[in-house]
A = this chain, B = another copy of it.
Amino acid sequence: MSQSFSFSLDKQCSQSRARVGTIDTAHGKIETPVFMPVGTRGAVKTLTNQQLEAIGAQIILGNTYHLMLRPGMDVMEKAGGLHRFMNWPHPILTDSGGFQVFSLASLNRVTDKGVTFQSHIDGSKHFLGPNESMQIQKAIGSDIVMAFDECSPYPCERPQVEEAMARTHRWAKQCRAYDLKEHQSLFGIVQGGTYPDLRRQSAEELTQIDFEGFAIGGLSVGEPADIMNEMIDVTEPLLPKEKPRYLMGVGTPRNIIEAVMRGVDMFDCVMPTRNARNGTAYTWGGKVIIKAGRYADDFTPLDPQLDCYTSQFSKAYLRHLLNVNEITGLTLVSLQNLAFYLDFMKKLRQAILDDQLLTFYQQICDLYPE
């Protein structure tokens, strides 16, 4: 167990299972519920650390799979870890690489020891199992390490989900037994697909292991939102209240607030940055499809209600930049979208503190129905 990691519950919502809390790490505090911008390969796409700090990013996520391929762990170790390599002094969470080897790579063989796969970049052969994942995340030096898991696709037959879950549980124990750095905490990942009884079984078995936090994995992989919420509903009551809960890869503002109301504390998603690069902005006026012709001469600011650098610029200007493929446009919209997500989480925390979460929920549903 890490000595540097702690979680305190600051407020329990009076209107839902939502909570406000504080995670403490060796690299700083994180106020929850939190959204973690995704910095897959050691950078949040199109942005600098300075821009992330300016919008109040508390923690970013790095991807073990991508970082093990490039720059590779030799460079990462020599650099003294990802914080120093990318010059980010704040908390970092890394995923285990499990999700990517099962979704991105060409799989050669899956055994109880792990996965032999071919890199999606050059076809080179690699092996990743629980020990390798821990070894790599130790070299990365992330504050929050994720156990190596097998995530089932959606839909998926029950026997396959059972097998992946059982393997995830065995791997979870091996990960916990691995000797990480003193400052590193380890989160277990609940699997079980869309089978409520398997979700319960997974939560019960995993919570036998003394992880610093628990993730709900294998969701947001194509299933409808009501099934996702149902899986959170069956899982969450079995997770210890005094530890943070992390819903991986989620999601829209509405997905997030609905999960928060079900007791989830942490989120990550590529949606704000990826959609920015596709020309969709998240604003306090709702989604804006920036390239739409009606914005050609709309000189009003993109989001006058958001205190963000991008707010200085008009829809017409941002539309022009995207239309002519100026990278600056991708940067400005990515900044907007992450600033919006972080502001949304801030308002969400405040709504819980003020016992106004249901009112805030209604506002979000009006702005972001999906």
Chain A residues close to B by CB (< 8 Å): 41-48, 50, 66, 70-71, 74-75, 78-79, 84-87, 296-297, 299, 309, 312-314, 316-317, 320-321, 323-324, 326-332
Supposing A42-B320, A86-B317, A317-B85 touch, asked if A328 and B47 sit within 8 A by C-beta, the answer is: yes
Q: A326–B48 contact, CB under 8 A?
A: no
Q: A43–B329 contact, CB under 8 A?
A: yes
CB nearest to A297 among chain B residues: B78
Which of A299, A327, A328, A330 has the most B CB atoms < 10 Å from its CB? A328
Q: B85–A316 contact, CB under 8 A?
A: yes
Q: Which residues of B contact A297 (CB under 8 A)?
A: 74-75, 78-79
Q: B309–A71 contact, CB under 8 A?
A: no
For the complex with contacts A79-B297, A79-B314, 19 further pairs of A-B residues with Cβ separation under 8 Å are A41-B320, A42-B317, A42-B320, A42-B321, A43-B329, A48-B328, A48-B331, A70-B323, A71-B320, A75-B316, A78-B297, A79-B316, A79-B317, A85-B314, A85-B316, A85-B320, A86-B313, A87-B313, A87-B317
Number of identical monomers bound together in the oligomeric complex: 2
CB nearest to A312 among chain B residues: B87
CB of A328, distance to nearest CB on chain B (Å): 4
Supposing A75-B296, A297-B75, A297-B78 touch, asked if A331 and B320 sit within 8 A by C-beta, the answer is: no
CB of A307, distance to nearest CB on chain B (Å): 14
CB nearest to A329 among chain B residues: B43
CB nearest to A327 among chain B residues: B46
Q: B330–A43 contact, CB under 8 A?
A: no
Q: A328–B75 contact, CB under 8 A?
A: no
* Cα–Cα, bound, A25→B122 (Å): 54
CB of A298, distance to nearest CB on chain B (Å): 10
Q: Which residues of B contact A332 (CB under 8 A)?
A: 48
Q: Which residues of B contact A314 (CB under 8 A)?
A: 79, 85
